[in-house]
A and B are shown apart, each in its own frame.
Chain A
C-alpha cells in the first residue's frame, strides 16, 4: 500500500504524469495508426498505463486483474483474430461518418470534463474521519481483495451470478459452434 500522505509528494506526481502521458499517447496511437496490428499493440501499451494508474490509486487487486484479463487475455485474443483475418495490411479505410461522429465525442468529452471538475475528490488525509473509521479505511485499502470478494458474493451476488450465467451461455455457444458436425 502507498503510505498515507504520499499522494502529494514529488515522486508520486512524477509517476502520475508519466503514466498519464503514456496512457493518452498510447490511446491516440490506437486510433491514428494505419496498421491495425500495431494499433492492437498500442492498445496493450494503453492497458499497461491503466494498470499503473490503478496501482497509484491503491487498487492493487484491480491492477492485477486488469493485467491478467485485459493485457493477458483480451488483447491477445484481439491480436490473434487480426492475425487470422486476411487483407488487414491495408489498414482502416476512412469512414463517411467522420463529421457526424464528432457530435457524440464532444458530448462525452464535455460530460467527463464536467464530472471531473465539479466532483469534490476527497483525499484520505484531508478527510476529517473518526479514528475507528480511519483505521477501517486503512484496513480496507491495505488489502482490498478480500473486501471485493466479500462484496461480490454478498451485496452484489445477483449481478455476479448473472455474469456467471452469461459466461456459461457463451461457453456452451462456443462449443456448439466449434463442434464438428
Chain B
C-alpha cells in the first residue's frame, strides 16, 4: 500500500486529502472515485476531439471543408450532435428481446472504460498498476464481442445478425495475433505491468519490435472495426451491421464506444510501443497527449486512404499473414533475449538491426508466398460467367 502511494502521486495527493477527514478505507474509495470520474470524462472529451478531428481531416482528405458552422471552426459540432442524438426517439423493434436489446449498448461501452484503468497517462499518474495489465486489457476487450452478439441477436433483424456474426468471426480471429504480437514486448521488458513497460523501455519499442508493432497495429485496427476492416458495419451490404435497429442515445452509445475504443487503443499503442509518457523538456502528460494524437491521426489517415476489404480476405489476412508473422517475431525476440539477457547499448542496437532485417525479409517472403492467395478474385458464382465456362 505504501509503495503504491509512493509511486502514484495522483492517487496519493487525493488519498492524503481525504484521509485527513475520513477513515482510511473511505478515503481510498473516494480518491479512486475521483480518479475514475476524471478518467471517464477525460476519455469522453478526447472522444469528442477525435470525432471533430476525424470529420475535419476526412473533409481535408476528400478536398471539402467538413463541419465548420457550429461554433468557431465547427468546434461545437460534436456537442450539437450529442444534443441532437439525445432528443431522438428511442425505438425498440416489435420482435426484439427487450432486456438483451437494452443491455447491449451498456455492455459495449463498459470494457472501453475498464481498459483505461491500467493505462499510465503521465509520470506516476495512473489509476491502477496491475501486474497482469496486458492480459487484463486483452481479456476485457473480449467483452465487447459479447455485447455485439447480444445486439445482433436481440434486434430480430437479419442485417443486424449478419453484422454480429461477421464481427465475432473477425474479432476472435484478430485477437490471436494481437495477443501474440505483444509476447515479444513481454519477453524484452519482462513484465506485464503497463507502468513497468514504459519504464523498462530504453528505446521506444517500435524500434526493437517493428514486426510486433505492425501486427499489433493491424489487429487493433480490426478490433476497432476501422476502415480497412470495417465490414462489420458495411453500409453497402448490411445497412449498419449489428446496430441497424438502434436509434437515439442507444445508437449514440455504440458510436461513442467505438470512437472511445479508438482513443484507448491508441493510448495502449503509445504506452507499449512509443515509450508512453516519457520525453524530453515537456511535462509527461503533454508528451502522452501529443503521441496519442499522432497515433489517432494515423488512424484517420488510414481510414481516408484504404478501401474496405472483403470478409474472406480479412479472415485469410488474420490467419495466413498476421498469425505466422507474430510467431516469427516471437521466435526472433526469444533467441535475442536468450543470447543477451542483460543487453548493453551496443547489443540493443544490434537487436534493432536484426529485428528490422527480420521484418523486411519476412514481409517480403510473405507477400511473395501469400500474395497470390490474397489478391482480389471474383466470387465463386461469377467465376464461370466471365470466362464463358460453367462454374
Contacts and interface: CB of A to CB of B under 8 A. Distances in A.
B168 A76 contact: yes
B155 to A, nearest CB: 13
**Interface SS of chain B: helix, strand, loop or mixed?**
helix
A87 B25 CA distance: 52
B135 A72 contact: no
Contact of A60 (B1, B130, B150, B161): B130
Contacts of A73: 142, 172, 175
B238 interface: no
B139 interface: yes
B131 interface: yes
A181 interface: no
Contacts of B143: 71-72
B146 A145 contact: no
A11 B25 contact: yes
B149 A68 contact: no
Contact of A41 (B130, B139, B150): B150
Contacts of B141: 72
B138 interface: yes
Nearest to A67: B139
A61 B135 contact: yes
Contacts of A68: 135, 138-139, 142, 179
Interface in B132-175: 132, 135-136, 138-143, 145-146, 149-150, 153, 161, 164-165, 168-169, 172, 175
B136 A76 contact: no
A58 B153 CA distance: 36
A26 B138 CA distance: 24
Q: In the complex, which of the residues A65, A67, A143 has the most CB atoms of chain B within 10 Å of its own CB atom?
A: A67
Contact of A76 (B1, B138, B149, B153): B149
B142 A64 contact: no
Interface stretch (A77-85, A93-101, A127-135): A77-85
Contacts of B175: 72-73
Contact of A79 (B132, B138, B146): B146
B284 interface: no
A67 B131 contact: no
A9 B192 CA distance: 29
A46 interface: no
Contacts of A53: none
B136 A83 contact: no
B100 interface: yes
Interface string B10-36: 000000000000000100000000000
A44 interface: yes
A143 B132 CA distance: 8
A72 B103 CA distance: 18
A79 B172 contact: no
26 contacts: A11-B25, A37-B153, A38-B100, A41-B146, A60-B132, A64-B136, A65-B135, A67-B135, A68-B135, A68-B142, A71-B143, A71-B146, A72-B142, A72-B145, A76-B142, A76-B145, A76-B146, A76-B172, A77-B172, A80-B169, A83-B149, A84-B165, A142-B131, A143-B131, A145-B131, A145-B132
The 6 closest A-B CB pairs, nearest first, are A72-B142, A67-B139, A64-B135, A68-B139, A64-B132, A143-B131
